[in-house]
């Protein structure tokens, strides 16, 4: 598992989405989600997870009102996105990209079951991990994880090394 860090959330999500698109063009079957955000009229930030298999967007934000200072993360949206990823893994995938291992995953909720499905299927995983969550990430991923700088070149180098170690060339583009 490649754990990206060292950039803003927006930059990391861009790197993940671009990496997924390059692999798709090479013929790999991609399962996973990337985070997208947009502002709202009330000055808040609405987050969605875009499924890399279907393109479906799942809202993971809930409107708690203008004055709210509470976390607006919608656990039902996370569960729905997790289900999409698990279905894509079960249908056959070559690579799993999960937007992040965040606080919710550190508590073993959110996308945790998608991570577990990918591990059980012995699939390569790319995600992001904030430095503040390094300890829970290490407890979760252990020796399966490697830190990778959040840039296109470093992620490509990780992928090339992984493919070389596996001894298998990429599938032909269909």
Residue 172: the pLDDT is 43
Mean pLDDT computed over 67-90: 82
Q: Does position 3 have pLDDT exceeding 80, yes or no?
A: yes
Helices 112-120 and 75-91 cross at an angle (nearest 10°) of 10
Q: C-alpha 53: how far from its chain's center? A: 12
For the domain spanning 2-166, the CATH number is: 3.40.50
Mean pLDDT computed over 80-106: 96
Q: What is the pLDDT of residues 4-54, one digit of tens each?
A: 999 999 999 999 999 999 999 999 999 999 999 875 555 556 889 999 999
Q: What is the pLDDT of residues 22-36, one digit of tens each?
A: 999 999 999 999 999
Q: C-alpha 102: how far from its chain's center? A: 10
Q: How far is 166 from 35, CA to CA, in rounded Å?
A: 29
For the ranges 16-30, 54-68, 153-167, which has the lowest average pLDDT?
Answer: 54-68
Domain ranges of the chain: 2-166
Q: Does position 69 have pLDDT exceeding 90, yes or no?
A: no
For the ranges 62-76, 80-94, 132-146, which has the lowest average pLDDT?
Answer: 62-76
3-state secondary structure of 103: helix
Residue 37: the pLDDT is 85
DSSP code per residue over 113-157: HHHHHHHHTT--EEEEB-GGGHHHHHHHHGGG-EEEESSHHHHHH
């Amino acid at each position: 598992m490649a754990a990206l860090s060292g950039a803003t959330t927006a930059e990391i999500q861009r790197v993940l989405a671009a990496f997924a698109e390059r692999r798709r063009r090479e013929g790999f079957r991609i399962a996973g989600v990337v985070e997208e955000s947009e502002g709202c009229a009330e000055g808040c930030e609405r987050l969605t997870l875009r499924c890399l298999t279907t393109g479906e967007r799942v809202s993971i934000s809930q409107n708690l009102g203008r004055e709210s200072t509470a976390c607006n993360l919608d656990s039902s949206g996370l569960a729905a996105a997790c289900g999409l990823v698990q279905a894509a893994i079960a249908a056959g995938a070559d690579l799993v990209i999960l937007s992040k291992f965040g606080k919710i995953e550190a508590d073993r909720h959110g996308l945790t079951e998608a991570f577990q499905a990918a591990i059980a299927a012995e699939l390569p995983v790319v995600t992001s991990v904030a430095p503040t969550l390094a300890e829970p990430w290490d407890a979760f991923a252990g020796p399966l994880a490697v830190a990778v700088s959040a840039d296109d070149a470093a992620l490509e180098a990780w992928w090339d090394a992984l493919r070389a170690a596996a001894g298998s060339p990429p599938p032909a583009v269909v």
